[in-house]
Amino acid sequence: MWVYILKRFLVAIPMILIMALATFLLMGSTPGNYLDTIRMDPQVSEETIGYYQHLYKLDRPLLEQFFYWIKNLLRLEFGYSFHYNVPVTRIISARLLNTFILSFASFVLTWAVAIPLGIWAAVHRNQWIDRLIQLFSYIFLSLPSFFIAMILLYWASQTGVLPLGGMYGPDYDQLTLLGKIGDILTHLAIPTVALSIGSIAALQRIMRGNMLEALGQKYILTARAKGLPENKVVYHHALRNAINPLITLLGYEFSSLLSGAALIEIICSWPGLGSLMLTAVRSKDIYLVMTSMLMGGVLFIIGNLLADILLVKVDPRIRYD
Amino acid sequence: MILLELKNIKKYFPIKRKSWGGQGAFVKAVDQVSLSIYPGENVSLVGESGCGKTTLARIMIKLIQQDSGSIKLEGQEVANLKGSKFRKFRKDIQMVFQDPFNSLDPRFTVFHILKEAMTLEKVRYRHFRDQEQRIKELLAAVDLPVNILNRYPHEFSGGERQRIAIARALVLNPKLLILDEAVSSLDVLIQDQILKLLQELQDKFQLTYLFISHNLKVVRRVSHKIAVMYKGKIVEMAATQEIFQNPLHPYTKELLSAAIEYKSVRRSEDINIHPNAQLVEKEKGHFVLDV
């Protein structure tokens, strides 16, 4: 098992390098660089631009730039942001917690609602409650999340129940700790719901499908035939066999915890990483983009590995030697 | 005393939704079937696939609710039992399924499979050791080594799995064991072993078997009485030897000619069954559906 984990880490290194190279080349293959924006300002002289171009090695070939970045990476230097003119780590760390709060809230809400809902729907297959759940799933799967966010914001603006965006209220600094948490939670409500609702619909459908497949198996018939109570049949036999694909999905979810959700963040003016990265890509703030990509990639690989290890723990048929 | 008595069991499955005011279409899976099983007397239900034999078995253990008819276990009506009385009934009739590869939960060790079956037993084991002792006895009874308790179903061969399934069914000391095509997915040598095992177990635990099968050779070896099912009805029922030597119903004759060398005329058209046909005793203990 430990050998297997070690192998997975060794395989991860070239994977991350290839991922980084691909991103770097994609960023570099489009014309222009960050300095072009500055160049349009007549007050900035050619010499200054040339100085920065040399400083950031933007006058060098793309591959050389890449290897220079890798070299610095090995010394744990992630580079400077052109736009903010500070190390990218400082910008990212400032927004990391915000993004994590939103993603984690959405993650918890999604799984806590979708899994029981899927089981419930499968157990009551084709009864009215199942049909109702499936109808709403289709509706919420078809609606884009930003549209839901806008509807929620409109509702909030009409009723005034929830704040209209941002992360903190104007009197945040004067609040007690409990008040601060409450304040963030009320601001969190709309973006979280908007982010989760489509995922709930999708995950619920996956759970329902897996559950139905498991419930159709012969060992379920055996369990019923020997007179096991129905709830034991569902939870001990069917659920345990239906959970595998969801564990894999859980691994994928892990990476999205820190990648941010640009659209929702922009609409709800949540100060997260998603909107930051969108601006960074558009303005070709290359090292900021690279670092975020690196973070997502590493988390993705770790998440997958965790899911695979978890699978061994829950399914005796899976073994890695 | 009759162990299990079925009277006029009927189960129709709807195949078309009822239109307004109209009559829906049905499959007559089990149509007015009566059958009595006496203690120690092995009965076989034979017939082509789709004739309703599995449905009938599932009605017996109440996996499916019959539309009408009565089920009596040792003289007591069980058709509408609930709660603790129902569990007592459940305990007395157990079933082994056809496919040993899918009928055991892949997530459960042998120990858990057997232990879970025990949770339905009234007697709680005082000590873990007693429970383990019982499990080991059962494994020994089905000729499996006792050191396999922590292994999972996928680590066994088909024959071994079927032994596990039989051990599981025996945990609660049932009186009637229904074997739904229990050997038909195994190869002939393993089939032979399992059939021998079943005969041993019958003497040891005072079991009665109900075999559901299309394999007449197997049926001939193990059963005392054979009931032939066709289109949801029992068309002929008699002692095993009597059926093999003197089949009276045209369907039985055809079934025999297909399975073993038996002179018979190939039928040119479907055998028609009159809706009101009744089983008639032609000779002593030999019932045939009146055509």
Say which range, A51-65, B48-62, B199-213, B215-229, has the weakest mean pLDDT: A51-65
- B95 contacts on A by Cβ (under 8 Å): 222, 225-226
Instruction: Name the closest residue on chain B to residue A313, using Cα atoms.
Output: B107
Q: Please state the ipTM of this predicted complex.
A: 0.75
- B27 vs B276, which has greater pLDDT? B27
| A168 and A308 co-located in one domain | yes
What's the mean per-residue pLDDT of chain B? 83
Q: For B156-177, write each residue's pLDDT tens digit.
A: 988 899 889 989 888 888 899 9
What percent of chain B lies above the pLDDT cut of 70?
Answer: 90
Per-residue confidence (pLDDT) for residue A224, from 0 to 100: 86
Identify which of B97, B120, B172 has the shortest CB distance to residue A222.
B97
Q: Which of A74, A103, A122 is the last residue of a domain?
A: A74
**A226 with B90: Cβ contact below 8 A:** yes
Strand partners of residue B212: B45, B180
How does DSSP assign A159-220, residue by residue? H-SS--SSSS-TTGGGS-HHHHHHHHHHHHHHHHHHHHHHHHHHHHHHHHHHHHHHHTSHHH
Number of helices (H) and strands (E) in chain B: give both, helices first.
9, 12
Domain-located, residue A116: yes
For residues A48 and A111, membership in a common domain is answered with no
Query: Domain for residue A139, yes or no?
Result: yes
- CA of A194: how far to CAs of A102, A116, A151, A197, B104, in Å? 11, 20, 9, 6, 42
Contact at CB, A225 and B97, closer than 8 angstroms: yes
Answer whether residue A154 is part of any domain. Answer: yes
Phi, psi of B227 (to 5 degrees): -115, 125
A108 plus A203 within the same structural domain: yes
Q: Please check whether residues A199 and A237 belong to one and the same domain.
A: yes
**For residues B22 and B253, which has the higher predicted lDDT (pLDDT)?**
B253
Average confidence (pLDDT) over B30-36: 88
What share of chain B in percent tops pLDDT 90?
10
Residues A117 and A258 in one domain: yes
Please indicate whether residue A132 or residue B128 has the higher confidence score (pLDDT). Answer: A132
Q: Say how far apart CA B17 and CA A184 lie, in whole Å.
A: 54
Sheet architecture: strand order including B68-73: B26-37, B4-14, B68-73, B76-77
Provide the CB-side half-sphere exposure for B208 (13 A, CA): 20
The residue ranking higher by pLDDT, B260 or B219, is B219
Strands B76-77 and B233-239: unpaired
Domain co-membership, A277 together with A233: yes
Beta strand pairing status for B225-230 and B26-37? unpaired
Q: Same structural domain for residues A65 and A166?
A: no
CA distance A293 to chain B (A): 38
Per-residue pLDDT tens, chain A, 321 aa: give them: 788 888 888 998 899 999 989 988 888 887 777 777 777 777 878 888 888 778 777 777 888 888 888 888 888 888 888 888 888 888 888 888 888 889 899 999 999 999 999 999 999 998 999 999 999 999 999 998 889 999 999 999 898 888 888 888 888 888 888 888 888 888 999 999 999 998 999 999 999 999 999 998 888 988 888 878 888 889 888 998 898 888 888 888 877 777 778 888 888 888 888 888 888 888 888 888 888 888 888 888 888 888 888 888 888 777 776
Q: Cβ contacts (< 8 Å) between B152 and chain A: which residues?
A: 316-317
Domain range summary for chain B, segments of one domain joined by +: 35-64+90-289
Measured between alpha carbons, how far is A98 from A149 in angstroms, rounded to an integer? 18
Question: Is B273 a residue whose pLDDT tops 90?
Answer: no
The pLDDT of residue B17 is 63
B167: enclosing H helix or E strand:
helix B158-170
Q: Which residues of A touch B57 (CB under 8 A)?
A: none
Of the candidates A74, A102, A124, which is a domain's last residue? A74
| A70 and A210 fall within a common domain | no
Which residues of B have a CB under 8 Å from any CB of A? Answer: 58, 61, 63, 87, 90-91, 94-95, 97, 99, 102-109, 116-117, 120, 152, 154, 165, 168-169, 172
Interface contact flag, B106 A317, Cβ < 8 Å = yes
Instruction: Map residue B286 onto helix, strand or coil.
Output: strand
Q: Are residues A62 and A128 in the same domain?
A: no
Instruction: Specify the higher pLDDT residue, A258 or B238.
Output: B238
Buried b / exposed e over A206-243, threshold 16 CB at 10 Å, is bbbebbbebbebbbbbbbbbbbbeeeebbebbbbbbbb
Q: Provide the CATH number for the domain around residue A223.
A: 1.10.3720.10
Q: Which domain holds residue A55?
A: 2-74
Residue that has been written with the tokens 């930051």 in this structure: A276
Question: Are A51 and A99 in a shared domain?
Answer: no
For residues B20 and B6, give the distance between their C-alpha atoms in angstroms, rounded to a whole number.
34
pLDDT of residue A155: 92
Q: Place domain B35-64+90-289 in its CATH homologous superfamily.
A: P-loop containing nucleotide triphosphate hydrolases (3.40.50.300)
The residues with which B68 forms a beta bridge, in sequence order, are B10
What pLDDT sits at residue B38? Answer: 92
The winner for highest mean pLDDT among B80-84, B118-122, B196-200 is B196-200
Which positions in chain B touch A315 (Cβ < 8 Å)?
A: 106-107
Q: What residue of B is the nearest CA neighbor of A216? A: B102
Question: What does each C-alpha distance from A242 to A104, A187, A212, A239 come to in angstroms?
Answer: 24, 36, 8, 5
Say yes or no for a CB contact (<8 Å) between A241 and B99: no
- Chain A residues with CB under 8 Å of B87 CB are 227
Please return the burial class of A176, using the count of CB atoms within 10 Å of its CB with bins 0-12, 13-18 and 19+: exposed
A302 and A178 in one domain? yes
Tell whether A113 and A253 lie within a shared domain.
yes
Smallest Cα distance from B195 to chain A, Å: 21
Structure tokens that stand for A177 in this block: 């700790």
- Cβ proximity of A162 and A194 under 8 Å: no
Kindly provide the b/e burial profile for residues A4-39, where b requires at least 16 CB atoms within 10 angstroms of the residue's own CB. eeeebeeebeeeeeebbeebbeebbeeeebbbeeee
User: How far apart are the two ends of chain B, measured CA to CA in Å?
Assistant: 31
A224 vs B contacts (CB less than 8 Å): 63
Position A288 in a domain? no
Of the pLDDT bands very low, low, confident and very high (cuts 50, 70, 90), residue B183 is: confident
Rounded distance between C-alpha atoms, residue A122 and residue A242, angstroms:
11
* Number of separate domains in chain A: 2
Give me A234's structure tokens: 């569902």
> Is the separation of the CB atoms in A91 and A81 below 8 Å?
yes
Residue A212 domain-assigned (yes or no): yes
Closest chain B C-alpha to A220 CA, distance in angstroms: 8
- In a domain? residue A65: yes
Give the residue from B252, B221, B242 showing the smallest Cα distance to B284: B242
Q: How high is the pLDDT of residue B227?
A: 92
- B63, B104, B154 ranked by CB distance to A225: nearest: B63
Q: Token pair of A27, please? A: 């960023």
Express each pLDDT in A171-224 by its tens digit: 888 888 888 888 888 899 999 999 999 899 999 999 999 999 999 888 898 888
Sort out which chain B residues have CB atoms less than 8 A from A317's CB and list them: 106, 152, 154
pTM beyond 0.80: the answer is no
- The helix (H) or strand (E) run that includes residue B45 is strand B43-46
